[in-house]
Amino acid sequence: MAEVLVYSTDPCSFCARAKDLLEKRGIAFEEINLAKDPAGRTALHERTGMLSFPQIVIGGELLGGFRELVMADQSGRLETLTAAA
């Protein structure tokens, strides 16, 4: 299974919803909470170009945020992405 990283912050309802969706699908993920890590936020922004949260990375590639996660789930792409290793 591909590594799934969820970059989050607090408070963040979309972060909570993204984690809930992954849990419901049985997809293991590592959460990296950057609420109190300004240097981590800067590094993530430099890497992805995104400022919003959550940011979901699967197999080293940026999927996007909550909306992109839902779209990938609905299309079946999420299962394909997480199955790749």
**Does position 85 have pLDDT exceeding 70, yes or no?**
no
Predicted pLDDT of residue 1:
82
| The pLDDT value given to residue 73 | 97
Q: Return the structure tokens found at 66.
A: 């909550």
pLDDT digits (tens, 9 = 90+) for 36-82: 999 999 999 999 999 999 999 999 999 999 999 999 999 999 999 99
- Cα separation, 23 vs 4, in Å, equals 12
**In the chain, what are the domains?**
4-83 (3.40.30.10)
What is residue 22's three-state secondary structure? Answer: helix
With contact defined as beta carbons under 8 Å apart, do 2 and 54 qualify? no
Q: What is the C-alpha to C-alpha distance for residues 71 and 2, in angstroms, rounded to an integer?
A: 18
Tokens representing residue 29 in the block: 């993920």
The reply to whether the predicted model has a pTM over 0.85 is: yes
